[in-house]
């Protein structure tokens, strides 16, 4: 059951079909709450994780007047300084992982979720090579068919908590983010929320086209 356009809070604005997930890097404080909530919700083993926080330009200051304004800095061609970016599967409209998968293990569903069909994955890791966001994980690298055909075991990644969204809940990472740095909603809702916060998108045009496809125009 989708909740349509019901507004839950600033971070989770709508769930279900056509909902997307995208970070507001200027709100991320690198607390790791999203990682913990994901692990707890899905019983992810200690040495694995479906979401991570990438710290870019660690220790560096942003260009003058742009500290803590990473998106603006990027848009102006200036250094954003140290920036924390929640990295996970963004369930891309033009998902490179789906395009390169030789066994059709990865599919883009009509409702917008990118899912893995475990029984078809041969662990070739083509998806890992194709994904610019480091989403695919291979926790069982030396087991099963992968020993013969590939080297990575069955792929695992963020599901955007589809099962939770089916009952009207937001993804666990977004629901528990203390600063609403992980946004969930339609592309228009996410774009509006970033505008309301005076935050930029941080990702370049190529990445935005991969993530949002034609809807990337909402962010221009």
The pTM of the full predicted model, rounded to 2 decimals, is: 0.88
d(CA 12, CA 19): 10
Q: H or E segment at 41?
A: helix 33-42
Contact between 89 and 112 under an 8 Å Cβ cutoff? The reply is no
List, for residues 52-83, the tens digit of each pLDDT value.
Answer: 999 999 989 998 888 878 877 887 888 889 99
- Kindly report, residue by residue over 140-166, the tens digit of the pLDDT: 765 555 555 556 678 999 999 999 999
Among 56-70, 178-192, 196-210, where is mean pLDDT lowest? 56-70
Return the H-helix or E-strand segment holding 20. Answer: strand 20-23
Residues 6+ apart with CB under 8 A from 155: 105, 106, 116, 121, 123, 125, 127, 128, 136, 137, 138
| β-bridge pairing 83-87 and 52-56 | antiparallel
* 173 Cβ contact list (under 8 Å, min separation 6): 33, 34, 35, 37, 38, 51, 86, 88, 161, 182
> What DSSP character marks residue 61?
P
Rounded to 5 degrees, φ, ψ at 45 are -55, 160
Residues contacting residue 117 through CB under 8 Å, at least 6 positions apart: 104, 105, 106, 107
Give dist(CA 101, CA 90) in Å, integer.
Answer: 17
Residue 186 has phi, psi (to 5 degrees) of -70, 160
* Mean pLDDT score of the chain: 89
């Amino acid at each position: 059951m989708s909740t349509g356009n019901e507004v839950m809070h600033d971070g989770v604005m709508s769930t279900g079909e056509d909902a997307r997930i995208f970070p507001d890097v200027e709100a991320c404080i690198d607390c790791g709450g999203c990682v913990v909530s994901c692990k707890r919700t899905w019983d992810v083993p200690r040495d694995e994780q479906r979401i991570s926080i990438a710290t870019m330009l660690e220790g560096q200051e942003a260009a003058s007047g742009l500290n803590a304004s990473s998106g603006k800095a990027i848009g102006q061609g200036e250094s954003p300084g140290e920036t924390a970016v929640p990295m996970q599967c963004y369930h891309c409209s033009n998902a490179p992982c789906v395009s390169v998968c030789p066994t059709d293990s990865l599919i883009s569903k009509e409702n917008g979720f990118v899912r893995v069909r475990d029984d078809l994955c041969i662990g070739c890791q083509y998806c890992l090579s194709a994904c610019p966001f480091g989403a695919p994980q291979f926790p069982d690298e030396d087991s099963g068919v992968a020993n013969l055909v590939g080297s990575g075991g069955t792929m695992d990644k963020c599901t955007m908590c589809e099962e939770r969204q089916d009952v009207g809940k937001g993804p666990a990472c977004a629901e528990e983010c203390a600063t609403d740095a992980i946004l969930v909603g339609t592309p228009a809702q996410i774009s509006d929320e970033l505008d309301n916060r005076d935050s930029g998108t941080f990702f370049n045009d190529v990445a935005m086209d991969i993530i949002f496809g034609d809807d990337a125009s909402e962010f221009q």
